[in-house]
Structure formats: structure tokens, C-alpha cells
């Protein structure tokens, strides 16, 4: 082939590369799409966080301060939906898009155009979600969506027009999630480089394989549930209306069959991130790599079959509640084993405490706490007392903020050099870590006590006896929200410039030449279970 032809080919190729807005609008490049997911998630983080801060301001003292009960419940519903569907899931998908092809040696995702579609459905869904909140404040549109994120009938059947927007939002989000999941699973199964066998995959890739499979299984069930809700609202059916022969509990089963595995959809990617960060900063191979993969598989399987532990108070049979109780308690085994794996990875390692590692250690400590309160809630007689109290709120925020959100922060600091080509400011990173961690605990730790003392969740006003705990919670919530302005500043500053990142930014965290191999792809050397590698 002559030089001229090569030049022409190159020129041709260059002509088809969109620039400016076209580059983003029509992008099929996994890194660009990953970046857009991450930016979308960041915007949603601030929207969802702002709604939570309004809630905490309202609860700062007893009485009704700034929002009426309907608006309060509407903000509560939106806070949950924005954080789950708008922040954590897209941020995880952004990281999956960015990193998985590079980790398995693939040129791009398996289905690049589908990838573009699954991202661009999100801004549309986000707009619809905000509209579902706003529309109710126009005359003649009925009451705002005041159901909480669980959308239980009969409240959700009686809600105003906002609920229709919300049902549509969930359909769009569901389509986006299913398409993204199909794409990720297909990529992992079909596009691994030669020699990249299953048990050489980094833990992050494994975590996304299980996450993708979960999404494909659970999302259609939620879609079915909200479609039946739509029919009950507008087409005269009685799926969930006892007067017409339906059953509101049926909706709870459909919702939680999605809702419980969804928790693992939010959690698994962070476990995958830990599987990269802990070995890197411990300068040791990951302890028990293969068992970790099997524990993830066990978590995925068990997570699918314990949904009704959210529904102990509905009057299930004794056999059913016993089954769900035992199944739920069993989940603590794979989770506990994973945490032990990470602790053993750090054991006798030459650890350093850069920001990603600090987040990693915080996750292990605080997520363990969520595990303990989770086992408490799994036990039926105990749960009958805790149910719908602030104890539950404390439990799931300890599961989701350290378990999901801190995992995302750890990943952002770990990969920012990779994504931007610049190093972030380590001092700023550490300040952000301590600020968020301390304020998070100040916000949610007291809620265990107000819950045990009997404070119900999702209520705009409360008895003065709970005032002290709520005061602490609200101060913590304000501080926690404000810390994210520093996060935003760090990201913008790193993107705009700063110290140039070396090829392997955590070079200092490696020993010899095997370091990179340990963190990026391979399981530990065969014999590492019995003897930790020597640390010079």
C-alpha cells in the first residue's frame, strides 16, 4: 500500500470523526460515553443532595418550618429516586464504560450505538423526573407524588399527574439500564483479549458481570409493576385495588423483587472497586481472589430470593417469614467473607493512605456496621419493632453511602489521573475524605437511636423528645452536603490542569514489576494463601 493511500485512508477516517457538540451527541466511544455518564451523575448528585438538605432543614426542630407535608413527601420521594437512578447507577455505568474495555483488552464496548442510546435516554428520564415533581404545583394536576420511592398503592393510585410522569420516567430509566446491562455483559463475555480467561478478570469486571445480570433479571419486573399501576390509575383495572378483587400487597412483592436486588446493583460495583484499590495501596495481591468471585455469585443469587424481608408486617404466613428471615441472615455470610478478604489483603501489607485507600478502609468499617444492623432487621420479631422507624433509615444509609457512594468516590480519586491525565491535589482529597466521613456519621448515627426510641420515618413533624437527635442529624446533613462543593472543586481543578499524571500514577504503591499485573488483571500467585509475599 502506497503512502498516498495510507494518507487518504487517514484523511477519510478523520473526516468522519465528529467534533464539537456532535462528538458528544453521536458518540460511540466508550470513554466519551463514560465521561457523559459521570457528568450526568455529578449533576444529579447535587440535585438529590439539595432535596435531602431541604428535608434535614425541615427536621432541624419540631414543628413545620419550611415545607408543607405534601412537598416534604414529594422531596423525599425525589431524593431517593434521583440518588438511586440518577446518581449511583449512572456513575457506576460511567466507570464500567470507561474501564471495562481497557481492563479486558477490548477496543470498545460490544454494542457502541446501543451504548449511545442507553446514555441519552438518561437526560430525558432525568427531565421527566424533575417534571414529575414540578407539575403538581400547577392547578388541576392533583396531589404531588407523596409515596416515597416505593410507590405503594393505594397512595400511588390516588396521586396526581406527577405520578404518570414518574411511571414514564421509570420506564425510560428501566430501558436505559437494561440496554446498558446487556451491553456490559455481552462485552465481558465476548470481547476479552486472547488469554484473558475468566479467572484473570479484575474483580471490577466480575462485579459488573453480576450487576449486569441482576439488572436484566429485575428491571422488567419493576416495569411490569408500574405498568399495572398505570392501568389501575387510568384504565379501570384493579390489580392493586381490593374492592375490585386486587391486592395492594401484590405491588409490594413486584416492587421489592426489583428493590432488594437493586441494593446489590448499587453495591457490587463498589466491591469491584475495592478489589482494585485495597491491593494497590497494600502492595500485596488480592487475598482469596477466586473465593471473592464465588462470594459475589452467592450474593447475586441470594439477593434475588429474599425480597419480602421488606414486608414482614403485611401478614405473610409463618413459613414464608421464616424462609425470608433465614435467607436474609445467610446473606451476611458472603458479605462478611468479602470484607474479611479485603482485611486479609491489607494484613502485613506495606500500606499507604492516599485518598482512595482512606475511602476503602472507611467502606470496610462503616459497611460492616450496616451489616450488623441488617442482621438485626432480618430477624422477624425485632423487625416488627424497627419497621418504618428511623432505625431503618440509618441502616440503609449506612449500607448505601459507604457501600455505594464512598466506593464511587474512591474510584473517582483512584482513576482521575487515568481519566484526566492530571493528578488531583492529595491534601484536598484527604480534607474531603475526613469532612464527608465525619459529617456522614454525625448525620446518620443518631438516627439509630431516634428510631429505637420510636421515631417514625417519612413524617414531616415529630415529638419534641426526638429533638436532640434530629438537631445533630440536621447539622451533620448540612455539613455533609457542603463537603461536596469541595469534591466539585477538586474535580474541576484536576480536569483543568495540575501535575501531569505518570503512566502508572500509583507507581509508588507497587513493588518491582509485578505491581501493575496484580492491580489490573491477575489473581494472586498460586501459593499466596499460606505465605504473604515478602515486603521490602
The answer for residues whose C-beta is within 8 angstroms of residue 294's C-beta and 6 or more apart is none
Q: What is the pLDDT of residue 501?
A: 86
Contact 444, 521 (CB under 8 A): no
pLDDT tens string 218-276: 999 999 999 999 999 999 999 999 999 999 999 999 999 999 999 999 999 999 999 99
Does 524 reside within a domain? Answer: no
The most distant pair of C-alpha atoms in the chain lies apart, rounded to whole Å, by 85
The answer for residues whose C-beta is within 8 angstroms of residue 122's C-beta and 6 or more apart is 37, 40, 86, 90, 173, 176
Does 530 reside within a domain? Answer: no
Q: What is the pLDDT of residue 498?
A: 81
Q: What is the CA radius of gyration of the chain?
A: 24
pLDDT band at 16 (very low <50, low <70, confident <90, very high): low
Greater pLDDT, 524 or 534: 534
pLDDT tens string 45-78: 999 999 999 999 999 999 999 999 999 999 999 9
Does 525 reside within a domain? Answer: no
Q: What is the pLDDT of residue 525?
A: 42
pLDDT band at 482 (very low <50, low <70, confident <90, very high): very high
Each as own residue / partner, the long-range contacts of residues 135-141 (CB below 8 Å, 24 or more positions apart, any chain) are 135/160, 135/161, 135/162, 135/165, 136/74, 136/160, 136/161, 136/162
Average pLDDT, the chain: 90
pLDDT band at 137 (very low <50, low <70, confident <90, very high): confident
Q: What is the pLDDT of residue 1?
A: 52
Does 28 reside within a domain? Answer: no
Range of the domain at 218: 33-519
Could you tell me the pTM of the whole model? 0.91
Helix (H, G, I), strand (E, B) or coil at 68: coil
C-alpha cell at 299: 450474593
What length does the chain have?
A: 536
Cα 422 to Cα 495: distance, rounded to the nearest angstrom: 7
Does 526 reside within a domain? Answer: no
C-alpha cell at 170: 421509570
C-alpha cell at 259: 428493590
pLDDT band at 21 (very low <50, low <70, confident <90, very high): confident
C-alpha cell at 456: 417514625
Is the predicted pLDDT of residue 507 greater than 70, yes or no?
no
pLDDT tens string 289-317: 999 999 999 999 999 999 999 999 999 99
Is the predicted pLDDT of residue 37 greater than 70, yes or no?
yes
Helix (H, G, I), strand (E, B) or coil at 420: helix
Is the predicted pLDDT of residue 284 greater than 60, yes or no?
yes
C-alpha cell at 222: 419493576
The answer for residues whose C-beta is within 8 angstroms of residue 485's C-beta and 6 or more apart is none
The answer for residues whose C-beta is within 8 angstroms of residue 314's C-beta and 6 or more apart is 249, 252
Burial per residue of 246-273, b for 16 or more beta-carbon CB atoms within 10 angstroms, e otherwise = bebbebbbbbbbbbbbbbbbbbbbbbbb
Contact 165, 132 (CB under 8 A): yes
Does 368 reside within a domain? Answer: yes
Which CATH number goes with the domain that contains 95?
Answer: 1.20.210.10
Total domains in the fold of the chain: 1
How far, CA to CA in Å, does 297 sit from each of 212, 261, 463? 12, 13, 45
φ, ψ for residue 422, nearest 5 deg: -125, 155
Does 536 reside within a domain? Answer: no
Does 378 reside within a domain? Answer: yes
Region 367-385 average pLDDT: 95
Region 523-534 average pLDDT: 44
521 prior amide bond cis, ω within 30: no
DSSP string over 452-503: HTTPBSS-S---GGGHHHHHHHHHHHHHHHHHHHHHHHHHHHHHH--SBPPS
The answer for residues whose C-beta is within 8 angstroms of residue 29's C-beta and 6 or more apart is 108, 112
Amino acid at each position: 500500500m502506497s503512502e498516498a493511500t495510507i494518507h487518504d485512508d487517514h484523511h477519510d477516517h478523520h473526516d468522519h470523526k465528529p467534533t464539537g457538540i456532535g462528538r458528544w451527541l453521536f458518540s460511540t466511544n466508550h470513554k466519551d460515553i463514560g465521561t457523559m455518564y459521570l457528568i450526568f451523575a455529578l449533576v444529579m448528585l447535587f440535585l438529590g443532595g439539595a432535596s435531602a438538605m431541604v428535608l434535614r432543614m425541615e427536621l432541624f426542630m419540631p414543628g413545620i418550618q419550611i415545607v408543607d407535608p405534601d412537598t416534604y413527601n414529594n422531596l423525599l420521594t425525589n431524593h431517593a429516586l434521583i440518588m438511586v437512578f440518577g446518581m449511583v447507577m449512572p456513575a457506576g455505568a460511567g466507570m464500567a464504560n470507561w474501564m471495562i474495555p481497557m481492563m479486558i483488552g477490548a477496543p470498545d464496548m460490544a454494542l457502541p450505538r446501543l451504548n449511545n442510546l442507553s446514555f441519552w435516554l438518561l437526560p430525558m428520564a432525568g427531565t421527566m423526573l424533575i417534571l414529575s415533581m414540578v407539575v403538581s404545583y400547577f392547578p388541576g394536576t392533583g396531589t404531588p407524588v407523596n409515596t416515597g420511592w416505593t410507590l405503594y398503592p393505594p397512595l400511588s393510585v390516588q396521586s396526581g399527574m406527577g405520578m404518570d410522569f414518574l411511571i414514564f420516567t421509570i420506564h425510560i430509566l428501566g430501558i436505559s439500564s437494561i440496554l446498558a446491562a446487556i451491553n456490559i455483559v455481552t462485552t465481558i463475555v465476548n470481547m476479552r483479549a486472547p488469554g484473558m480467561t475468566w479467572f484473570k478478570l479484575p474483580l471490577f469486571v466480575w462485579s459488573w458481570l453480576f450487576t449486569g445480570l441482576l439488572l436484566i433479571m429485575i428491571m422488567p419486573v419493576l416495569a411490569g409493576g408500574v405498568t399495572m399501576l398505570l392501568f389501575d390509575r387510568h384504565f379501570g383495572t384493579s390489580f392493586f385495588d381490593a374492592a375490585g378483587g386486587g391486592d395492594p400487597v401484590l405491588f409490594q412483592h413486584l416492587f421489592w423483587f426489583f428493590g432488594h436486588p437493586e441494593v446489590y446493583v448499587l453495591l457490587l460495583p463498589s466491591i469491584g472497586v475495592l478489589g482494585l484499590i485495597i491491593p494497590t495501596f497494600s502492595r500485596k495481591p488480592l487475598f482469596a481472589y477466586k473465593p471473592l468471585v464465588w462470594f459475589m455469585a452467592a450474593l447475586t443469587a441470594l439477593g434475588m430470593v429474599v425480597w419480602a424481608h421488606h414486608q414482614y408486617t403485611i401478614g405473610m404466613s409463618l413459613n414464608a417469614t421464616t424462609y425470608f428471615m433465614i435467607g436474609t441472615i445467610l446473606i451476611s455470610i458472603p458479605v462478611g467473607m468479602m470484607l474479611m478478604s479485603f482485611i486479609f489483603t491489607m494484613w502485613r501489607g506495606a500500606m499507604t493512605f492516599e485518598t482512595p485507600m482512606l475511602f476503602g478502609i472507611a467502606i470496610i468499617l462503616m459497611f460492616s456496621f450496616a451489616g450488623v444492623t441488617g442482621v438485626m432487621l432480618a430477624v422477624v420479631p425485632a423487625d416488627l419493632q424497627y419497621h418504618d422507624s428511623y432505625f431503618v433509615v440509618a441502616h440503609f444509609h449506612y449500607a448505601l453511602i459507604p457501600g455505594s457512594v464512598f466506593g464511587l468516590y474512591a474510584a473517582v480519586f483512584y482513576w482521575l489521573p487515568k481519566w484526566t491525565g492530571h493528578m488531583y491535589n492529595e491534601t484536598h482529597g484527604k480534607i474531603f475524605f475526613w469532612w464527608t466521613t465525619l459529617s456522614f456519621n454525625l448525620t446518620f448515627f443518631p438516627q439509630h437511636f431516634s428510631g429505637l426510641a420510636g421515631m417514625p420515618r417519612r413524617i414531616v413533624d415529630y415529638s419534641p423528645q426526638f429533638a436532640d437527635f434530629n438537631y445533630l442529624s440536621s447539622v451533620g446533613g448540612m455539613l455533609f452536603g457542603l463537603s461536596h462543593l469541595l469534591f466539585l472543586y477538586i474535580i474541576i481543578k484536576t480536569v483543568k490542569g495540575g501535575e501531569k499524571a505518570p503512566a502508572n500514577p500509583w507507581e509508588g504503591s507497587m513493588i518491582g514489576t509485578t505491581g501493575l499485573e496484580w492491580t489490573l488483571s491477575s489473581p494472586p500467585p498460586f501459593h499466596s494463601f499460606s505465605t504473604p509475599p515478602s515486603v521490602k
